Structure 1
């Protein structure tokens, strides 16, 4: 038996509760993991609260992230005792996920944790930090380097934004943070932001070409915010789009791309090839240490997930919520 957050939808409505489940209810998979830590991401918040059509089948154990120890495996890549991490692959949406003490998944979805990183540290990073790393790597591939100019991070107080600021700062970039919570300025500067701007300056409809302000950007907001970020990118700069908190729409024109040669990278963190996932996690382990990550972390237990999801969707959470599934 093991404990898990279980989402159900039936004649009694949509609900999420912590329940005890028998091992024979685990889904199909070739690797069983004793989960140590998971996370509560924006997508998990949508799933738990029912505020977004995230869950594709019911009942569902949410949790797009997990880290723990392999207990059994028919995949030759993994053996009992291996420490592993999983991000994405539809886990927590169409396949039971990480907000549980046990998970059974496809081996191809897993990678081994870097030797210097524990499960808790990995889950402070989670999909949010992994996505931030993929975004930084995209800017680097474009040739953006420290000294090239300012890099903007939108949604700075969230999980992706917080880790992105840390990564960019550690790598030597000057970072501008955009947030709708001015009370978080000290927190954001503590992560490495040199300047904090109000998100209202970016979230409303704007001109397709504006003053050139940033050589690069990482945007987790979408909609008008992404359009305004594009409009302010310097000639031959680039931005990485990795979220849609404001909306799926992209109300802009081709002007930044044709008249300034701006490059827009779309970051799909869900189904990256194993080699790219390993590279990203190795970079994360080499750049960030435990003390850095603790600045962003709020730890909760499994039974706190449901109320915490409501706070997350209300915009009342900053940084990363790491879930100790065994308490």
Structure 2
């Protein structure tokens, strides 16, 4: 096979550099399935992957991209044949294993999911790791008492980012009526409302003035930010409510107290989409294909491999809205 294009991240002394290069199949990690990549996507973790001390890439050089969708061109696995449409998110893609920001990827069969019939390769990447994480967050709360019939107050932080925007849209299409969207900038207000938020709140609106227990405002919280934002919200959750956590853009430290947990029975749920069992993944993707019609209102933009650096800067500066997908194959 001739040379093909990929984003390659490398380390030069103490500096991490990345750019578009021509590589060969031999530059890919081992795996049973070779895929012509049609789409990838850009996530917060992909931004970290190209930074000094980003903590994502384990060895250099590396092709980033924790998501991909495409068509099988070679397979030594009995589970996949040439022509199968597949997707992959998480595991070690783009970290210790060459990822989705290339025209071809070679992937272990046990990391792949066959694309549901009603879902396109493009739609799969509009969802990507961000949407998959949003789905796991919503499902975790549904499994632990959140019901449309109870008319709960729900807050989504980072509501116009990748995970948050899809979480808001899922909640909206499910019929929840009190979806509070936390935003930081005025220009994000209309975006959150378009997605289905019924009320938009700003950071000053959630300040609890350092109280160990604040006024009970939210039954459930989907937190994508972490840090001080999470600490402010935990004391404001209603008795018997819960909060999911899946992000650390606001910091990795959490300063809180035990009273919300032992006096109000608040539950805290950690959400991990990276190593979520492969045997359970198809059911999540089928919900997007069959039940959750989220694509009409989701905000996304489409770029090429060459345009990735501009989006990386948006993610780094906190100015990125919605989802960005990368169109790689011109054939699909």
Aligned match for 1:34, one of 28, 33, 36: 36
Alignment partner, residue 299 of structure 2 = 296
Aligned match for 1:196, one of 189, 195, 200: 200
Matched-pair contact (CA < 8 Å) for 1:236–1:263 = yes
Query: Take 1:90 and 1:60, find their aligned partners in 2: how far apart are those partners?
Result: 11
Q: Residues 269-307 of structure 1, C-alpha deviation per residue, up to 9 Å, x if partnerless?
A: 0011123211211112223447425x3111111101122
Alignment partner, residue 306 of structure 1 = 309
Alignment partner, residue 242 of structure 2 = 238
Look up the SS of the partner of 1:245 in the other structure: coil
Deviation at 1:143, TM superposition (A): 1.5
Aligned match for 2:160, one of 157, 162, 165: 157
Alignment partner, residue 206 of structure 1 = 210
Look up the SS of the partner of 1:236 in the other structure: strand
Which region of structure 1 is more displaced relative to structure 2, 143-152 or 127-136?
143-152
Matched-pair contact (CA < 8 Å) for 1:31–1:106 = yes
Q: Residues 63-101 of structure 1, C-alpha deviation per residue, up to 9 Å, x if partnerless?
A: 000011111111211111111111110211111100111
Q: Residues 28-78 of structure 1, C-alpha deviation per residue, up to 9 Å, x if partnerless?
A: 111111110000100001112436221110000000000111111112111
Cα root mean square deviation, aligned: 1.6
Report whether the alignment pairs 1:278 with 2:261.
no
Alignment partner, residue 113 of structure 1 = 115
Aligned match for 1:144, one of 146, 163, 171: 146
Alignment partner, residue 322 of structure 2 = 319
- The structure-2 alpha-carbon separation of the partners of 1:219 and 1:202, relative to structure 1 and needing over 3 Å to count, comes to same
Alignment partner, residue 20 of structure 2 = 18
- Runs of 4+ in structure 1 off by over 3 angstroms are 200-205, 287-291
Deviation at 1:229, TM superposition (A): 1.8
Q: Residues 125-150 of structure 1, C-alpha deviation per residue, up to 9 Å, x if partnerless?
A: 11000000000000000021114311
- The structure-2 alpha-carbon separation of the partners of 1:306 and 1:205, relative to structure 1 and needing over 3 Å to count, comes to farther
Give ranges in structure 2 of 5+ residues lacking alignment: none
Deviation at 1:180, TM superposition (A): 0.5
Give ranges in structure 1 of 5+ residues lacking alignment: none
